[in-house]
Structure 1
Amino acid sequence: MPKTSTVRALMDPRKKERVTRILKRMGINHSEAINIFYSLIEENRGFPFDLKLPNQDLPERDTSSINPEVLSHLKDSLKKNRQLGELLAK
């Protein structure tokens, strides 16, 4: 079995550049960051943070202080996570 495997991801080039600058300041590269994230997923047997839909009984939360790009990404991620959950439940 090979010692390494390739992971590819498509993302906005501006986001990649911003993250590259952050990772550089932290002294790690993309591969190390992805390995850390994967290790946390493995350790937690899922994402290392909660991904859930808001409680339907709660009023809408003010999201005006959240970067619109981040908010859009989170909404897309929640939608994909819900779709995955529905597929796994079948």
Structure 2
Amino acid sequence: MSKAKQTGTILGSLIIGALAGGIAALLLTPHSGEETREKLKKEADRLREELKDYSSDFSDKAKKVKKDLEKKLKKTEAELLDIEEELGV
């Protein structure tokens, strides 16, 4: 499995786990409607921040992979040009 796919799977699992945990906590503890709405808002804000962090990490990793691939492609291109020159094509 590729690292990007693993990261996506982990991110999805974290989101589902956070949502399930938040919903379970809200449903299992008796509170007034106002308290429940406030808890939902806080949980949503926390989850939003967590997603921003993971999104930023994923973006940074994707940029690094892109940069690495570009370097490898340039190196391969140079090697192919050398081979072409040696063969006189």
Whether these two folds match at TM > 0.5 is no
- Which structure is larger by alpha-carbon Rg, 1 or 2? 2
User: TM-score, normalized by length of structure 2?
Assistant: 0.31
Higher share of residues assigned helix: 2
**Which of 1 and 2 has higher RCO (CA within 8 Å, sep 6+)?**
2
User: TM-score, normalized by length of structure 1?
Assistant: 0.31
